[in-house]
Chains A and B, each alone.
Chain A
Amino acid sequence: MADSYSPNSEPTTRTLLRRVLDTADSRSPRRRLSVRAGTQRTLPETRLSWRLRSQTKPTTKRRSHGTRSPGRPAHSQARRHLEEQTPRTLFQNILRTAPESSILKPESTGKPVPAPTAAQPPRRESSRSSLELQLPELEPSTSPAPALLAPGRRKQRVRLSMFERQVDQGQPVAQEPQETADASSLTSSLNLNFATPLQPQSVKRPGLARKPPPRRAVDVGLLLQDLRDASFAPTGNSLRTSVTTVPTDTALEDTQPFSQPLVSHSPAVPHFLPHPSHNENEDAERTVSHRTQSSQLGLQSDELQPWPAATPEVTEAVGSQDAAEAEELDVPSGEEDPSDSTAGPEMASSNPRSLQAEQPPLFSEPPPRPDATLRSSQAVPARPPPRHRAAGHRPRPDPYKTGLNHYTKLFRFYAKMPMEKAALGMVEKCLDKYFHRLCDDLEVFAAHAGRKTVKPEDLELLMRRQGLVTDQVSLHVLVERHLPLEYRKLLIPCAFSGNSVFPAQ
């Protein structure tokens, strides 16, 4: 097999490789030495053949044995360069030309033969071969275990393209350590390269990644400053222009795959910002400002989950330029008409403030909030409410109402009957009173037990006194009935293997 140009058994890839090798001769002059010896050619050949073709084991063994042992001491340096440069290009050529499907008898027996021979070049070879094989698994390890090789080969077929990419990545870096000719450094450098391809994989599947990277903090600060500095009051134009100047940068910067969802999602929040001056300005301005503002503000919010629900309604509202439509679309609107008109200026003023100060809770709030304020703010003159923003924010009403809204929606669901908007306000008041009472009771119970921390036992006692927990119905039963599985797991102690109980008692 050391003879050149004699296609012995499998003609295709081997002849191809030979051709490639011959063409690659020009790279290193030292190649000639190896050509004469013929060993080195067979070495990459054998490696490649292991990867790409199935050959008889004994032949490979023989080849490897015969080639490795004499070749090593003689042409160590030459081989170093040869094997470090050409095999990669060889592989690339092979990958382009040779059929990838023709694998794979696990030639693991052949592999450990070079590996245990502890000289540097074979280690390099083996490391490289191991790297080649293990690249698909993206496991950088210098010593190829035969166990790894077998499964690795199965994946070679699939991962060859990946390997090519990795090789391309690894090539510019690996060329440096070639000069050092240090196996460990080479492998380590290559190993480092192989670690990075993990990221591109995730980028290749943008649909699977959930959230955009949270790197908008600086822009948030800029936006907040701009919002505060800019004179909101008289002209929404000034506000919008001042805000647009900042977000345009971020909008341009935002080249992530989520740029579009963000842009589409985010118009909800700044909706109420331009809406006070909604009527005065052109639609184009509005939409542009919406998008830029929203892209800016949407970037701030890490919670995109509420948005998909909000977006169809909000985008329609933007397009329809009528907040009433948005309100109609938005089913679970918790606002009443009378309370809206009265709370309108309050909401409009408090909303931008809360926008500045507490965006996450506001963002987590479903659209009824901005839509309701939109309706109300349209009725009320827009100028005074934006001025209140500078006075400072009142965080309490909004996040509080947000949380209450959550239970109001549940009320609506449990009632199963159409309800008036006034009734929902009534429900909110009841909930408010209920929370007050709940806290008082819990305080009393904890004090009775001599504690300053309210524990689940206090809660259970409360429910017992309320008549929810009886001798027939225990707390666990209620938990199982009404709470989702994740919470049930947290609340109800369950025995696990190893004599452990979770949650611990």
Chain B
Amino acid sequence: MALSNTVSQKAKLKRKAPRSFLKRVFKRQKPHLRLEARGDLLVHLNCLLFVHRLAEESRTNACENKCGVINKDHVLAAAKVILKKSRG
């Protein structure tokens, strides 16, 4: 029987989306709007892609300046570009 052998194991998600955090942020910003159940996963996806692009851009900036370390300025410049790009 199942009792002795198995204990239900929830697979541990390595890259969990902070769903409650995203929902809370959206609610704080726009309390009159509602976010759907799967919408926050897509928001998370959007954030991932944004962060990815930001990281790539800042890495490019740092390499152009021939720095081994990503600086604040690199990130700042990258942010300007990427935020403009993801204006929507």
Contact with B along A480-496 (1 / 0, CB 8 A): 00111011001100000
Q: Which of A461-491 contact B (CB under 8 A)?
A: 462-463, 465-468, 475, 478-479, 482-484, 486-487, 490-491
Distance A138 CA – B77 CA, assembled complex (angstroms): 67
Contacts of A487 in B (CB 8 A): 17, 41, 44
Interface window among A175-183, A248-256, A447-455: A447-455
Say yes or no: A490-B75 contact (C-beta < 8 A), given A443-B33, A454-B33: no
Asked, given contacts A403-B21, A446-B33, A486-B13, whether A459 binds B51 with beta carbons under 8 Å apart, the answer is no
Question: Known contacts being A453-B33, A454-B35, is A403 close to B22, with CB within 8 Å?
Answer: yes
Contact of A406 among B21, B26, B39 (CB under 8 A): B21
Minimum CB–CB distance for A117 against chain B, Å: 29
Asked if residues B32 and A478 are in contact (CB atoms below 8 Å), the reply is no
Bound: A138/B71 CA distance, A: 64
CB contact between B49 and one of A453, A482, A484 (< 8 Å): that residue: A482
- Chain A residues 417 to 438 lying within 8 A of chain B, measured CB to CB, are 417-420, 422-423, 425-427, 429-431, 433-438
Which one of A435, A443, A452 contacts B25 once the chains associate, using CB atoms below 8 Å? Answer: A435
Q: Which residues of B from 18 to 50 have beta carbons under 8 Å from A?
A: 18, 21-22, 24-26, 28-30, 32-36, 38-39, 41-50
Residue of A nearest to B32 (CB): A452
Known: A138-B3, A411-B54, A430-B83. A456 touches B38 (CB 8 A): yes
Which bracket fits the contact residues of A? Answer: 35 or more
User: A456 vs B40: C-alpha distance in the bound complex, in angstroms?
Assistant: 9
Q: How far is the CB of B42 from chain A (nearest CB, A)?
A: 4
Cβ of A417 to closest chain B Cβ, rounded Å? 5
Residues facing B in A134-161 (CB within 8 A) are 137-139
User: Is A442 part of the contact surface with B, judged by Cβ < 8 Å?
Assistant: yes
**Which residues of A come within 8 Å of B, CB atoms?**
137-139, 198, 201-202, 205, 208-209, 305, 396, 399-400, 402-403, 406-407, 410-412, 414-420, 422-423, 425-427, 429-431, 433-443, 446, 452-456, 458-460, 462-463, 465-468, 475, 478-479, 482-484, 486-487, 490-491, 503
A-B contact pairs, 20 of them (CB 8 A): A202-B7, A399-B21, A399-B24, A402-B21, A403-B21, A403-B22, A418-B70, A430-B82, A431-B50, A435-B25, A440-B29, A443-B30, A446-B33, A459-B39, A459-B43, A460-B42, A466-B85, A483-B41, A484-B13, A487-B17
Nearest 4 A/B pairs, CB to CB:
A403-B21, A414-B55, A459-B42, A439-B29
